[in-house]
Structure 1
């Protein structure tokens, strides 16, 4: 390893004695070996540290925090001390494939306009491969609906993060990565390599599982912030209105549905003028949102009645045009015979 390594591998750990050896081995066995390996332990109370200390490899730098101060704190500290041109993330319970670093370095060295690249991954014990977009414009749009850059797979250009003063926001934990990517995509280009280069482990002790409620809340905040790039005063309550919530008056739901569809149409129109998102991809995203809304509405048992058909024609006549002739026919027939079938 040179005095200034090509890569800094940044791996925060906490109580992962069951998986840490596999994770460390997968990094030390990379075909690309010019890296420093910073492991920051967040005051583990199990055998994690002793397992790491058993390794005799000069690339490993173990930092032991005297008290637990959180995952995001470890990440940001790692960013400040990293020496590498590129920073690669890794988690203490995942497995990097041997060619991961070599392929990511080659990608970033070749595509100088890309600042961050992730990879595809496969959940350990499952055959399905994650379906993540590969090019920047598509990633940017897809991020509105979820985190499509897998945190433990990424490698990024440190100088660009420093230039933009980019860091993880501790208030956004445990979706701190998602929130960071949502800022990055408006500043620099991103990409995903279309190969599985990491095996991702799912288990009950993961932070994301333990703090699922907050993760959902942060994700909602991120999505609204991204859409506010198009409409600054976008109505958060309307956008996340729950059509399936029991006890809501059907007339009220229809009015809300109409307002939300109008909001989605406005997003398409204004984005076309501003060019915040690639038009075709954004249009597809919005159309998928509409389809999801109509499907959720039709999944409510209480919408099927002749009275409600009349209400739809009065309040939101475009509903039947949007769902199409075939689905309209099924909806009307089911509405007419619903009470009889229910008995």
Structure 2
């Protein structure tokens, strides 16, 4: 039976392109949510396989399919969806992942009770591995962990749309495939980020994943995002300090004795510049400013 809605509290946003292999399972995981008051906005980026046919096989009034005539890219699809989304919240979903049945209900309940939070992600599991991936939960922990890498799973997040509109912040296509990481960092001065400490998304890793096909590009763009994050501290770095920091960001820890000392100086500069408390002092101190691989 169709579930028609007027003005939904939630817009589920799913960009798709040539996703015929996994799209059915992803779509069904959305339609079978315990929370039902949403519009399901699917942006097809001119797929050439059976993706669109599969989507059209579902008779559910919540589905709104936008078919782009020309392939313009993933980030363009995301921004198109954000601009036409009617919901108070925008829940992200990828065409190869699975949302567990209570995901939307739990995220909306949390966001309604915590107006300071503008992005709410969840813990996740990797399909086929039967183990949860632990991510930081609270805002202060996430803020600092973002120095090491992206620690919100894009297909798990729910975003408060007003925060994007009021700040005119959208995805930056130039940062793709780290467009989500860049968005979280640009939203940090606007509100809190949070990860629900429960697995609510199953994440699929396969050979066509961005993490495999565009790894080097993703790494370079993520470095630029880290520099943006550090820019909030207004720290002046000498050229030699910038060079060492870039080596660390590229996970090249084969530093000379002099470079190790330079890096210690860089960390001290950052710690000293935290006077306005951009990073929570207690959390900052507990990390001792040691960079790690990921978070």
The TM-score normalised by the length of structure 2 is 0.92
Residue 270 of structure 2 corresponds to residue 263 of structure 1: no
For residues 168-183 of structure 1, the aligned pairs below 5 Å read 168-183=171-186
Higher RCO by CA contacts (8 Å cutoff, separation 6 or greater)? 2
Q: Which residue is 1:335 aligned to? A: none
- Aligned-pair RMSD on alpha carbons? 1.6
> How far apart, CA to CA, are the structure 2 residues paired with 1:156 and 1:42?
22
Q: Which residue is 1:129 aligned to? A: 132
For residues 1-343 of structure 1, the aligned pairs below 5 Å read 1-234=4-237, 235-241=241-247, 242-244=252-254, 253-271=256-274, 273-289=275-291
Q: CA deviation at 1:187?
A: 1.2
What are the ranges of 5 or more consecutive residues in structure 1 without an aligned counterpart?
246-252, 294-343
The DSSP-based 3-state class of the residue aligned with 2:133 is: coil
Q: In structure 2, do the counterparts of structure 1 residues 132 and 243 end up closer, same or farther at CA, with 3 Å as the change threshold?
A: closer
Q: CA deviation at 1:207?
A: 2.5
The DSSP-based 3-state class of the residue aligned with 2:6 is: coil
Moved more, 176-185 or 104-113: 104-113
> How far apart, CA to CA, are the structure 2 residues paired with 1:82 and 1:208?
27
Q: CA deviation at 1:268?
A: 1.3
> How far apart, CA to CA, are the structure 2 residues paired with 1:288 and 1:232?
18
Structure with greater Cα Rg:
1
Measured against aligned partners, the alpha-carbon deviations of 1:46-73 in whole angstroms (never above 9, x if no partner) come to 1111111111111111111111110000
Task: Identify the structure with the greater helix proportion.
Answer: 1
Structure 1 runs (4+) greater than 3 angstroms displaced:
284-287
The DSSP-based 3-state class of the residue aligned with 2:290 is: helix
The DSSP-based 3-state class of the residue aligned with 1:222 is: helix
Moved more, 158-167 or 74-83: 158-167
Whether contact under 8 Å (1:146, 1:219) holds in the other structure is: yes
- How many residue pairs get aligned? The number is 283
Measured against aligned partners, the alpha-carbon deviations of 1:196-233 in whole angstroms (never above 9, x if no partner) come to 00100000111232111110001111112212222433
> How far apart, CA to CA, are the structure 1 residues paired with 2:38 and 2:123?
22
Whether contact under 8 Å (2:163, 2:190) holds in the other structure is: no
The TM-score normalised by the length of structure 1 is 0.79
What are the ranges of 5 or more consecutive residues in structure 2 without an aligned counterpart?
none
Q: CA deviation at 1:243?
A: 4.2
Measured against aligned partners, the alpha-carbon deviations of 1:264-314 in whole angstroms (never above 9, x if no partner) come to 12211221x23221112223334423xx79xxxxxxxxxxxxxxxxxxxxx
